[in-house]
Amino acid sequence: MTVESTAARKPRRSSKRTAGAGARKTAAEPELVQLLTPEGERVEHPDYDVDLSPEELRGLYRDMVLTRRFDAEATSLQRQGELGLWASLLGQEAAQIGSGRALRDDDYVFPTYREHGVAWCRGVDPTNLLGMFRGVNHGGWDPNTNNFHLYTIVIGSQTLHATGYAMGITKDGADSAVVAYFGDGASSQGDVAEAFTFSAVYNAPVVFFCQNNQWAISEPTEKQMRVPLYQRAQGFGFPGVRVDGNDVLACLAVTKSALERARRGEGPTLVEAFTYRMGAHTTSDDPTKYRADEEREAWEAKDPILRLRTYLENAGHADAAFFEELESESETLGKRVREAVRAMPDPEPMAIFENIYADGHALVDEERAQFAAYQASFADGEGN
């Protein structure tokens, strides 16, 4: 259900569209936009819909399977000592692929550190992400190659970058839009409140896509909010909507609608994708210390990949050959990723001073000179 503000001056959808809803099967959760139930049954929603061909549906399934595979490889590589850290997206594939596939090429994404599925949709090579977690590429890639900004670890800060970028789009007179990804924990940050205020007042074309995965490391959502997260938007003067974050179709439909609204010049939307972090916060975390196994088991029944598979099979949209081929593609991806990580060279030490300021900076020059002297002190015959 969408919360519309009076400031947004957008009329509610006509009741005509909802009139027949009684005859249709609707989602069980009152506040949750859902188009595909956990049992894989296609349901209708009065405000949101997607019309996808069997090929497009298989494409979404493929994206989710390959993203999960890549993520599992990364976790294993960290356990083998090949990566310093990994933040798994396990369980959040639908939220990321659904929203990621709603984007246009000229839209811009500001991710946090767990958006591997969105990176996949943007065409960022997974090995780039792994280079960062191996500590060999100094944190990045060229954001403008895929309109996918660098991973941001300072919680919530990227919502401000996204808002500023979106305000710039308006000044350029373009009709592209921005998506800022962040988590339930990040929603408690002052930066996020500031981003909401600025984007609302300046009518910035930005979609705030919050993956409420129920946990901020060991802090449950009860310690972050008194009202459902999506309702916060109302106080800032823009719509908020809660979507089933494990339903790739609903995530696609809701994000598309929010992006279209932004392009029409109607300002921001807060999308709360209600999902679950199935794994640990990162490979440095042990969730058994603070949450019960039953909770994870309950969410396993809502698995985003399984429900789409059930739907594809029941609707006759995918056959055994498709799933077999995908399994072999998945194996190939895993092998490619493992080999690429192991072959990554250590970075050239002085490279850390590159790509900081476009035109150089006196302080960086000073630090570079100091570090060069320090490096030189290890040369034969010196420092003994």
Ligand X SMILES: Cc1ncc(C[n+]2csc(CCOP(=O)(O)OP(=O)(O)O)c2C)c(N)n1
Question: Quick one: 155 or 250, whose CB is closer to ligand X?
Answer: 155
Residue 58 structure tokens? 């298989």
Q: Give the list of residues 6+ apart from residue 373 with CB closer than 8 angstroms, or none.
A: none
Q: Does 290 bind ligand X (CB under 6 A)?
A: no
Q: Which of 17, 290, 342, 357 is catalytic?
A: 290
Count interface residues toward ligand X (CB under 6 A). Answer: 14
Kindly report the length of the chain. 384
Nearest to 103 by CA among 7, 212, 6, 209: 209
Residue 153's binding partner out of ligand X, Mg ion, none, with CB under 5 to 8 Å set by partner kind:
ligand X
Residue 281's binding partner out of Mg ion, ligand X, none, with CB under 5 to 8 Å set by partner kind:
ligand X
Q: How wide is the angle at C-alpha 362 spanned by C-alphas 360 and 364, nearest 5°? A: 70
Q: State the residue number with the nearest CB to ligand X.
A: 183
Note the helical H segments in the chain: 15-19, 54-79, 93-100, 116-122, 126-134, 143-146, 157-172, 190-201, 232-236, 248-263, 293-300, 304-314, 320-342, 362-376
Q: Give the list of residues 6+ apart from residue 108 with CB closer than 8 angstroms, or none.
A: 147, 148, 149, 162, 165, 169, 176, 177, 178, 179
Q: At its nearest, how many Å lie between ligand X and the CB of residue 216?
A: 3
Parallel, antiparallel, or unpaired: how do β-strands 2-3 and 240-244 relate?
A: antiparallel
Residue 101's binding partner out of ligand X, Mg ion, none, with CB under 5 to 8 Å set by partner kind:
none
Q: Does 277 bind ligand X (CB under 6 A)?
A: yes
Q: Does 216 bind ligand X (CB under 6 A)?
A: yes
Q: At its nearest, how many Å lie between ligand X and the CB of residue 190?
A: 10
Q: Does 215 bind ligand X (CB under 6 A)?
A: yes
Distance CA 102, CA 96 (A): 10
Distance CA 189, CA 187 (A): 5
Question: Quick one: 48 or 215, whose CB is closer to ligand X?
Answer: 215
Nearest to 117 by CA among 248, 295, 293, 253: 248
Question: Quick one: 4 or 191, whose CB is closer to ligand X?
Answer: 191
Catalytic, 281? Answer yes
Q: At its nearest, how many Å lie between Mg ion and the CB of residue 216?
A: 5
Question: Quick one: 216 or 312, whose CB is closer to Mg ion?
Answer: 216
Q: Does 117 bind ligand X (CB under 6 A)?
A: no
Site for ligand X in 182-201 (CB under 6 A): 183-186
Q: Around Cβ 316, how many Cβ atoms within 10 Å?
A: 8
Q: Does 270 bind ligand X (CB under 6 A)?
A: no
Q: What are the residues facing 220 on neighbouring strands?
A: 215
Give the residue, chosen from 19, 21, 28, 153, that forms a contact with ligand X under the rule CB under 6 A: 153
Residue 40 structure tokens? 């894989």
Q: Does 218 bind ligand X (CB under 6 A)?
A: no
Catalytic, 277? Answer yes
* Piece of the chain touching ligand X by CB under 6 A; list 53-61, 128-136, 212-220, 236-244: 212-220
CA distances to 18, 237, 269 from 7, in Å = 24, 6, 13
User: CA torsion, points 181, 187, 192, 193, in degrees to nearest 10?
Assistant: 150
Question: Quick one: 86 or 353, whose CB is closer to ligand X?
Answer: 86
The residue ranges that bind Mg ion (CB under 5 A) are 183-185, 213, 216
| Tokens 């609903």 found at | 250
SS3 215: strand
Catalytic, 290? Answer yes
User: Residue 75: how many CA atoms within 13 Å on its side-chain side?
Assistant: 19
* Piece of the chain touching ligand X by CB under 6 A; list 147-155, 194-202, 314-322, 341-349: 147-155
Question: Quick one: 216 or 250, whose CB is closer to Mg ion?
Answer: 216
Query: Residue type at 207?
Result: V
Q: Does 217 bind ligand X (CB under 6 A)?
A: yes
Q: Which of 116, 281, 307, 317 is catalytic?
A: 281
Distance CA 62, CA 380 (A): 54
Give the residue, chosen from 116, 161, 281, 307, that forms a contact with ligand X under the rule CB under 6 A: 281
Q: At its nearest, how many Å lie between Mg ion and the CB of residue 155?
A: 10
Q: Does 114 bind ligand X (CB under 6 A)?
A: yes
Q: Which of 277, 307, 311, 317 is catalytic?
A: 277
Question: Quick one: 148 or 215, whose CB is closer to ligand X?
Answer: 215
The CA-to-CA distance between both ends of the chain, in Å, stands at 71
User: In the complex, which residues of this chain contact ligand X (CB under 6 A)?
Assistant: 114, 153-155, 183-186, 213, 215-217, 277, 281
Annotated catalytic sites, by residue? 277, 281, 290
